Amino acid sequence: MTCNIQRATVFDIEQLVPLFDGYRQFYGASSDLALARRFLSDRMSQNQSVVLLAREANGDALGFVQLFPSFSSVRAAPIYVLNDLFVVPEARRRGVGTLLLQAAADKARASGAIRLKLSTAITNVAAQRLYEAMKWTREEDFHVYNLSL
């Protein structure tokens, strides 16, 4: 599939809101367009994330990936956390996710990052197949813990 992937700006928020809302719903959250708009606006205006937006030639939004900057203390180097990847249902299995992941890796490399990291639901087998096909490796040496605050 041919699509254009560019870094999103605050001017792209209205195209991103339904995508981000769809992403949140995929993971069980209730639809909340105002929350999606506020969250994306805050992250982008405060330069706290990088959002790459995929569009068809006609400008229709197909999907996005959101990266959050972080660091590896052991390697003393920057990394990115690929926190969100979403492709609209009608564009799935057409290569959009692959292109977004490639664009994310290109962006991270260009900024000097040494690694991208992500996590996905155990039940999200389609995403796992995509990651593994693109040479992502599953972490076997660490358990991930969360503390709700």
Beta pairing partners, 127? none
CATH, residue 49: 3.40.630.30
Supply φ then ψ for residue 83, to 5 degrees.
-85, -35
Whether residue 133 is contained in a domain is answered as: no
Determine the average pLDDT of the residues in 135-148: 86
Whether residue 140 is contained in a domain is answered as: no
Tell me what pLDDT residue 1 has: 67
Does the predicted TM-score (pTM) go above 0.85?
Answer: yes
Rg for the chain, CA atoms, rounded: 15
- Strands, E, within the chain: which ranges? 4-7, 50-55, 61-72, 77-87, 116-117
Whether residue 60 is contained in a domain is answered as: yes
Whether residue 114 is contained in a domain is answered as: yes
Whether residue 38 is contained in a domain is answered as: yes
Tell me what pLDDT residue 52 has: 98
Distance CA(138)–CA(70), nearest Å, equals 19
Whether residue 125 is contained in a domain is answered as: no
CA-to-CA separations, 111 to 8, 60, 93, 114, in angstroms, rounded: 16, 28, 29, 9
| Domain assignment of residue 57, given as a range | 4-119
Count: domains in the chain: 1
| pLDDT, tens digit (0-9, with 9 covering 90-100), for 27-44 | 999 999 999 999 999 999
